[in-house]
Amino acid sequence: MYPFKPGSYAPRNGWYVAAFCNEIGEKLLSRWILNQPVVLYRKADGTAVAVQGRCPHRHFPLGDSKRVGDAIQCGYHGITFGADGKCTFIPSQQTVPGVYSIKAYPLVERGLWAWIWPGEPDKADESLIPTMEEIGYRTDPDFHAKPFYVHHVNGRYQLLNDNLLDLTHLGYLHSGSIGTPDDAATPEVRDLNARRLSSRRHMKNTPPTPAIRERWGYDGLLDRLSGMDFYFPGFHAGIGDSTVPEGQPRAGEKLASSRVWHAVTPATKTSTTYFFAMGSPDRSGVEFMVEYLKPVLAEDIFATEAIEKIITTVDEVPPELMLRSDTTAVQGRRVLQAMMDAEAAQ
């Protein structure tokens, strides 16, 4: 499906964010992941688990069912499944056939996130999860990291990946907050390896964004670094740094220095769960941004949902008119398509 080949939806063999760790508790949490219902919860010993969210009997949602100890008892006819997915009890009969089980997914908590592997379980290699070091997540007291929002977006996931891989939109879609026209006019430096696709823009002597004006009361020129690392298949680690350059009053002062983390998890064919988090040594800056970025994210969500509406309504999606600035997004799409092609070939 657009923008991939017909029949290609999403890579299955990869780690996606299923939830922020702090969302998973005793209560059953329902979430669609790669077009399948999934249930997340924490066992009595504190381990987080993810199992299939559809009862194999009559397809009742297990997320709307009942926890019995560490097991889930289907809310329809009472069939019960352990946290490993194995059926433990069928109320209407004595025997429990071995085939009567649900899928249990590999799930790993790392940093703020619980990572799920929707594909073949024996391929779930934990070393493929981005390391906290490479994404700039720290737990020391000089760093403050926080999950901000979880949004259900009515648009296919690749529209959000495309958004995050083309930050030229910052100066236009977010002209009132986090971008300036220099975000589009400055060429980017790209780097691709097997784990991630990285892009950086170094803006020298550039005007401050409205966000910097507002928070730091600074109106002079700045040196800004803006970048994004896309860890395949669904995690983007962003970096933003602003320093006052030589020759300006307040020269050398570091204004903003932050990491932003976007996790893009396909929910259904045309919807996405979008997890946003942020970290910085500047604790009050992070707290300021929780409110400040709400309307900014709403702009990205508006763009995604409006585009989804157009492309699902027109008879046929016409070919896009590509620009040089689309190179990163196109590379990102190619990597995901190659992952899907490799899975299809197996």
Q: How far apart are CA 174 and CA 168, in angstroms?
A: 10
| Residue 300 in the binding site for Fe ion (CB under 5 A) | yes
Our finding on whether 71 is near ligand FES (CB under 6 A) is no
Could you give the string, one character per residue 191-230, with x where binding to ligand FES holds by CB under 6 A and - elsewhere? ----------------------------------------
Residue 57 touches ligand FES, criterion: CB under 6 A: yes
Count CB atoms within 10 A of the CB of residue 9.
16
The site map against ligand FES for 37-56 (x = CB under 6 A) is ------------------x-
H-run or E-run covering 288: helix 283-292
Residue 97 class from Cβ within 10 Å (0-12 exposed, 13-18 middle, 19+ buried)? exposed
In the structure, how many helices (H) and strands (E) does the chain have?
A: 7, 18
Closer to ligand FES by CB, 58 or 283: give it. 58
Does 190 engage in binding with ligand FES (CB under 6 A)?
no
Out of 34, 48, 71, 79, the only residue in the binding site for ligand FES (CB under 6 A) is: 79
101 or 209, CB closer to ligand FES?
101
How far is Cα 12 from Cα 130, in angstroms, rounded to an integer?
17
Under 8 Å CB-to-CB from 328, ≥6 apart: which residues?
A: 165, 166, 188, 190, 197, 199
Q: Which does 300 bind (CB under 5 to 8 A by kind): Fe ion, ligand FES, none?
A: Fe ion
* Residue 229 engages Fe ion in binding (rule: CB under 5 A): no
Q: CB 106 → ligand FES: shortest distance, Å?
A: 24
Return residues touching Fe ion (CB under 5 A): 300
